[in-house]
């Protein structure tokens, strides 16, 4: 497996886009309910208008940040470690040696399954780290690599 810096797969942008639409719909439903309380229980108008504003603004921000989120999220898998990097305003970088990994969980919701992607979460004895989306075969290769290393290092410490 190569050890240079990877972006997440391209299709993740589509997924993020759909999930922004999803949060728009969820907020819309919520605002609808608030409208009912305004209409029938005389709740103050400002609650309704705040929710309406959030419903419009939140998906726009979420959607417009997708290119940045994509650009600044990277991962790197070498023979000894997994490294992840994310964020621009608050940049975070983490190194997880494969020898410390206790288990790898792949999980994919319907959207990710449809795009043949999967979320990867890597657990050490104390922390959890996640990659938002990887190609299915790449994720499986990572998992197998970690399993192989784990078998070699059976004299565990924890």
Partner 1 sequence: MTKPKRTHPLGLFLHIANSIKEYWFLFILVFTLYNQPIWFALCWAGIILAMIIWPATRWATLSYRVTPTAIEVNSGVFVRHHEHIPYSRIQTVQRKQWFFLAPFKLEELYIETASHDDNKPEARLAAVPTTLADTIDGYRLGATATETADSADTKETGNSADTDTAPIPATTPVTAHYRINNRTLLKFAFTSTGFIPLLLILLAIYNKIPRSWTDALIDDATHLALIALIGGAIAVVAIAWVGAFLWTYIRYFHFDVALQGDQLKTAKGLFQRNTITAPLTRIQAIRVKQNVFRQWLHIQTVQVLLASKAASKDDDDDLVILPAVPQSQLYDVAPPFVGWLPDHTPDLSDLNVADRRQWYLIRNALLIVIAPVALASFFLPHWMWAFALILVIAFFQGRFAAHQTGGGLITPRMLALQTGHMWTKETYYLPVNMIQSVRLNQSVWMKRTGLMHLIVNVRHGNKNQAIELRYLKSEQAQRVYDWYLQTV
Q: Which of these segments, 12-20, 106-114, 119-127, 134-142, binds partner 1 (CB under 8 A)? A: 119-127
| 130 interacts with partner 1 by CB under 8 A | no
Nearest distance from C-beta of residue 8 to partner 1, angstroms: 19
| 74 interacts with partner 1 by CB under 8 A | no
Whose Cβ is closer to partner 1: residue 124's or residue 145's? 124
By CB under 8 A, the count of residues binding partner 1 is 22
| 96 interacts with partner 1 by CB under 8 A | yes
Residue-level length of the chain: 158
For residues 97-115, one letter each, b for 16 or more C-beta atoms within 10 angstroms of the residue's C-beta and e for the rest, the string is ebebbeebebebeebbeeb
User: What strands, in cross-sheet order, belong to the sheet with 101-107?
Assistant: 101-107, 117-124, 128-135
| 88 interacts with partner 1 by CB under 8 A | yes
| 94 interacts with partner 1 by CB under 8 A | yes
| 95 interacts with partner 1 by CB under 8 A | yes
Strand partners, 74: 7, 85
Q: Which residue has the tokens 């190569």?
A: 2
Q: Are 1 and 119 in contact (CB under 8 A)?
A: no
- Please give the distance of CA 109 from its chain centroid, rounded to a whole number: 12
Among 52, 81, 111, 150, binds partner 1 (CB under 8 A): 81
Name the residues that contact partner 1, by CB under 8 A: 80-81, 83, 88-97, 99-100, 124-127, 129, 157-158
């Amino acid at each position: 497996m190569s050890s240079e810096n990877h972006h997440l797969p391209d299709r993740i942008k589509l997924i993020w886009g759909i999930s922004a639409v999803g949060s728009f719909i969820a907020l819309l439903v919520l605002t609808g309910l608030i409208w009912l309380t305004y209409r029938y229980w005389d709740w103050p108008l400002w609650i309704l208008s705040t929710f309406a504003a959030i419903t419009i603004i939140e998906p726009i921000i979420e959607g417009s940040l997708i290119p940045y989120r994509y650009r600044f999220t990277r991962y790197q898998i070498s023979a000894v470690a997994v490294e992840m990097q994310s964020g621009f305003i608050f940049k975070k970088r983490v190194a997880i040696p494969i020898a410390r990994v206790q288990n790898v969980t792949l999980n994919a919701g319907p959207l990710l399954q449809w795009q043949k992607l999967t979320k990867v979460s890597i657990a050490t004895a104390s922390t959890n780290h996640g990659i938002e989306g990887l190609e299915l075969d790449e994720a499986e290769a990572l998992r197998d690599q970690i399993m192989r290393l784990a078998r070699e290092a059976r004299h565990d410490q924890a």
